[in-house]
Amino acid sequence: MNRLWSLVFAAALLAVCVLPLAVRADGKMFSTAIADVSGAQMPDQAALIVYDAATKQQTLAIETRFVGTGTDFGWIVPLPSRPEVTPGTTGMFPCLRGMFAPIVRTSANDTAIFALAMLVLAGLCVVYLPKYWRTVCGTALIIMCLAALLLPSLGKARSSAGSPIADPEFIDRRIVGDFEVTTLESPRGEAVVQWLRDHGFHVPAAAESAVHQHAREGWSFVATRLTREASTSEPMTAHPLVFTFTTDAPIYPMRLTGAGAERDLSVELFVFGATRAGAAGFRAAAGAPVVVRDEPYGRVWHHASRITVQNSALGPLVDGAAYGTRLTATLKPADMQRDIAISWTDSTSPTGRTAHSETSRAGLAVNIGLLGAFLAIAFVGLFERTRGLRRGTAVVAAVVLGPLSGIVTLGAVPAVPSIRPGDVWRNSHDVLRKFYEATEGDERAGELVYARSRLDEFLAAFNAANGTTLRRGDGPGQFELHERDGMIWLVHIDAAGAEYWNNLWPAA
């Protein structure tokens, strides 16, 4: 009989450890919550890297922020080969952060809590009740435990480096978005240094040395200049620039940034390729297979097992990539004396895609605490019955180990704030309906520029009436008007960076 009970308890313990995981991994997620990253501290540098190993083509988009007084800013980007430069959108990186935000478990696993509680009671029955009642009560409680774990699962199963460059030194100058962009190729780097001096920028000796080093290796340089109307000490965020070039291996240029650096630098890289990416000194904070949706009309069900890209700015850039990785690091000045080489692992499984709310963390702590209590009863109770330990020792061990396990879990598992993209999606329909009613009959509504001014006015009035902070733009939680296929469309972006297009009326 003792051997039989050992087998029963082993089976029950296996069920407790494995089945709740299967329940949580189920694909049914109709009201997904994701971590709210809108208030997260911005890194010093952020970039999007997309690499195609077959064509050796890399796309590099860099989030552009300028800090300092003055009206003119210069920015030099060294690249392994001559690039094509296009403008990005200001919402690209906020949307990327939303896409990589972990899925938050917002509720406790009540089924597992009940099952584990039954298992604890079953353990007490086996250890302390007479033989007959031990058999009856222990069997009943274990059956209830297994039923609580198995039935929900069964129900769901039924439903559910570049080429060398020759002269000339000056290649191209043109306006790209808000930037004046000049592409330079200089065998020794003098053209780059001279460009900076001609535009009144100070060139430290360490930066000049880094430019010469890149030039000797045959790299190209993109020199950009941005002017703002007034001098202020406030940080300035411009739209990103997107560079497309060929290289034998994906890389993020860092040596010029590190020239003369005296403080640590936080860096965030969103890397898309065939498998999970890595880089020396960086941590893979999140990653998952990528799904790109070309038609941004249907609702996106965000899931921990994938990153869904339904975004007109990001979709064309990452299309063809199978996996996306978010890499983070805080680099010391010594770490910035080399460019960041991107490597690939063999893994394509999701990582860093789940998190806990306060409620689910508390539920997890209860689960772990009950499991700790059961283990104490099972093992200490065994010694109590076979080695002559003092009666009640197993109960004391359970009372100590159970709460202790729960407290350790609360301290070890962080809780994050969350937001439900589905709720924002539903609220956007209220904005859509009311904006349509407010502009109905306006003969100029088909003119895109005019319609956008009307949207600005409408959102200001909507915010005043509802206490919201909605605004026009292409970042998470924002609205924008676009013209496509002869129609004016109101586009809403949810908290995870997915776009939803709603056609309003014919364009003028």
> What is the spatial distance between Cα 127 and Cα 387, in angstroms, rounded to a whole number?
13
| pLDDT for the residue numbered 137 | 57
What residue segments make up the domains of the chain, in order of their start?
36-102+163-354, 357-417, 420-506
> 8-17, 35-44, 293-302: lowest mean pLDDT where?
8-17
Q: pLDDT tens for residues 282-291? A: 999 999 999 9
Mean pLDDT of 328-350: 92
For residues 465-469, give the mean pLDDT. 85
Helices (H), 413-439: 421-439
* pLDDT more than 70, % of the chain: 70
**Residue range 32-46: mean pLDDT, rounded:** 54
With cut-offs at 50, 70 and 90, classify the pLDDT of residue 232: low
Write the secondary structure of 93-154 as one string of H (helix), E (strand) and C (coil): HHHHHHHHCCEEECCCCHHHHHHHHHHHHHHHHHHHCCHHHHHHHHHHHHHHHHHHHHHHHH
> Would the pLDDT of 351 be above 60?
yes
Q: What confidence score (pLDDT) does residue 231 get?
A: 61
Name the band, by pLDDT with cuts 50, 70 and 90, for residue 404: confident
The amino acid present at 317, given as its one-letter code, is L
The predicted pLDDT at position 162 comes to: 35
Contact 317, 48 (CB under 8 A): yes
Task: Judge whether 98 and 476 are in contact, CB under 8 Å.
Answer: yes
Residue 36 identity (one-letter amino acid): D
What's the first-to-final CA gap in the chain, in angstroms? 85
- The CA–CA distances, whole Å, from 155 to 17, 19, 52, 158 equal 19, 13, 42, 5
User: What's the mean pLDDT in 421-426?
Assistant: 57
Token representation of residue 259: 């020239």
- Other CB atoms within 10 A of residue 444 CB: 12
C-alpha–C-alpha distance, residues 122 and 128, integer Å: 10
Residue 423 has pLDDT above 80, yes or no: no
**What pLDDT does 167 receive?**
35
Of 267-281, 425-439, 460-474, highest mean pLDDT: 267-281
Q: Structure tokens of 274?
A: 């065939």
Residue 277: Cβ within 10 Å count: 26
Strands 307-309, 283-292: pairing kind: parallel
What is the pLDDT at residue 135? 60
Using one digit for the tens of pLDDT, what is the confidence trace for 66-102? 666 666 777 889 999 999 999 888 889 999 998 998 8
* Residue 30 CA, distance from chain mean position: 20
* Tally of CB atoms within 10 A around 29: 14
Contact 242, 223 (CB under 8 A): no
- Spell out the residues 6+ positions from residue 122 whose beta carbon is closer than 8 angstroms to its own: 12, 137, 138, 141, 142, 145
Question: In the CATH scheme, what architecture does the domain 36-102+163-354 have?
Answer: Sandwich (2.60)
pLDDT at 361: 76
> Who wins on pLDDT, 162 or 34?
34
Q: Please determine, for residue 393, whether its predicted confidence score (pLDDT) is greater than 90.
A: no
Mean of pLDDT values over 393-400:
78
482, 484, 373, 492: which is closest to 432 by C-alpha? Answer: 492
Total H helices, total E strands in the chain? 12, 23
Both tokens of residue 297? 């009309």
pLDDT mean across residues, the chain: 76
Radius of gyration over alpha carbons of the chain, in Å? 29
Residue 275, pLDDT above cutoff 90: yes
What's the mean pLDDT in 319-335? 93
- CB-side neighbour CA atoms (13 Å) of 351: 18
* pTM (2 d.p.): 0.75
* Cα atoms in the 13 Å half-sphere on the side-chain side of 387: 9
Using the structure block, give the residue that is written with the tokens 């999007």: 48
- Confidence band, pLDDT 50/70/90 cuts, at residue 40: very low
Q: How far apart are CA 412 and CA 462, in angstroms?
A: 42
Cis preceding linkage at 168, omega within 30: yes
pLDDT at 454: 93
Mean pLDDT is highest, among 144-148, 168-172, 398-402, 426-430, for 398-402
Average pLDDT over residues 388-410: 78
Q: Is residue 225 scored above 60 in pLDDT?
A: yes
pLDDT band at residue 139 under the 50/70/90 scheme: low
Strands 103-105 and 354-356: parallel
The whole-number pLDDT of residue 229 equals: 65
Report the pLDDT averaged over residues 298-318. 86
Continuous segment of H or E residues that includes residue 87:
strand 84-87
Q: Kindly tell me the burial class for residue 191, based on how many C-beta atoms sit within 10 Å of its own C-beta (0-12, 13-18, 19 or more).
A: buried
pLDDT digits (tens, 9 = 90+) for 376-392: 777 777 777 777 777 77
Please list the alpha-helical segments (H only) found in 344-390. 358-386
Of 177 and 275, the structure prediction assigns the larger pLDDT to 275
Secondary structure letter of residue 290 according to DSSP:
E
Q: pLDDT at position 184, please?
A: 83
Q: What is the pLDDT of residues 313-325, one digit of tens each?
A: 999 999 999 999 9
3-state SS record for 321-368: CCEEEEEEEEECHHHHHCCEECEECCCCCCECCEEECHHHHHHHHHHH
